[in-house]
Amino acid sequence: MAEALGDGTGDPLGRELSSLLRAWWENSVQAQGRKPTQEALARQIGVTQATLSRYLSPAHPLMAPADTVRVLHAALGAPPEELEKAVALACGVRSEQRPTASALMPARKRRLPEGRGARRNLAIAAMMAGALIAVWSVGRTVLETGRTVKPVAAPAHPNATQWPLVRKGETSSLTWTVQRLLKAHHHQLRTDGIFGSETRAQVIAFQKKRGLQPDGKVGKDTWPMLVLPASPGDTGPQVEAVQDLLHRAGQPSDITGVYTAATQRMVRSFQRQQGLPDTGAVDEKTWLSLTSTEPT
């Protein structure tokens, strides 16, 4: 079986497909009363665990082939009505909705007044030059310090002490984190990676219980009360959130909900990269770094 159709990192179809496949996996329950591990599922469908992890990662997806989508649908007992949509995404049948070169031609042929057009072109050129200089500067720093680019994920904010803001409409890994942590606090909701009305209502309920401003947004005041300590031997949605965020930060992790020795090693590695004490346990400062680190 082919393991990949193409890298969907910058493709909205790839991200949508990965979100759907991940929802199938998150919501699947086998005979033992829990979803299968990625390792077991990868063996079942005939791909490597690393490949399956990319299929299920909306943050940096790998486009699953249509035949693999069908096998996953059957293996996970996903809703029958969602198979057609998933196969269509895998085949890229919605690509005609994207702007084509011919569709853009009329806009390109329109002529602006000479002065205004020249000013606009100069502005665009200046922006491009600035971006190139920034890339060159980063490359020069790497060469001069002897560091490699791969191991360390870049902070999402210049000030690493800032919690991210997650609100209605978001579909990033942080939405999965919010939903899992709400479940760890015994809130009943779907974990589908979509910050919709249901998630917002549960965030508001959580905020009201803790005397916070009930705005339905997860920011600097809500995160510290939402996160929970996690350490070796722990189980539950908060551990799944840690494992997912580790994977997002470039520490490949199987999302099992069990804080194993492997999870502890990944946490310690991440903590060292971020200049934190490498305790192997996830405290508030580690949560802060995990949530404010951009996907690698």
pLDDT in tens, 14-68: 888 888 888 888 888 765 566 778 877 777 777 787 788 888 888 777 888 888 8
Cβ contacts of 261-266, under 8 Å, gap ≥ 24: 261/232, 263/232, 263/239, 264/232
pLDDT for 87 equals 86
In a domain, 110, yes or no: no
Residues 274 and 178 in one domain: yes
pLDDT in tens, 238-265: 999 999 999 888 888 888 999 999 999 9
Residue 37 contacts residue 94 (beta carbons within 8 Å): no
Residues 187 and 268 in one domain: yes
Domain total of the chain: 3
- Residue 177 has a CB neighbour count (10 Å cut-off) of 29
Residues 143 and 180 in one domain: no
pTM of the model: 0.52
Give the range of the structural domain holding residue 75, as residue numbers without chain letter: 6-94
**83-91 and 66-76 are packed helices; what angle lies between their axes, rounded to 10 degrees?**
160
The residue-averaged pLDDT of 194-215 equals 95
Residues 76 and 20 in one domain: yes
- Judged against a pLDDT cut of 50, whether residue 110 lies above it is answered with no
Q: CA nearest 296: which of 149, 153, 155?
A: 153
Residues 202 and 235 in one domain: yes
The amino acid present at 87, given as its one-letter code, is V
In a domain, 275, yes or no: yes
Is pLDDT larger for residue 290 or for residue 140? 290
Residue 177 contacts residue 282 (beta carbons within 8 Å): no
Q: What is the CATH number of the domain that holds 89?
A: 1.10.260.40
In a domain, 126, yes or no: yes
In a domain, 107, yes or no: no
Q: CA nearest 173: which of 59, 14, 61, 60?
A: 59
In a domain, 1, yes or no: no
Q: CA nearest 51: which of 13, 84, 5?
A: 5
Residues 228 and 277 in one domain: yes
Residues 201 and 272 in one domain: yes
Any idea which residue has 């990625």 for tokens?
38
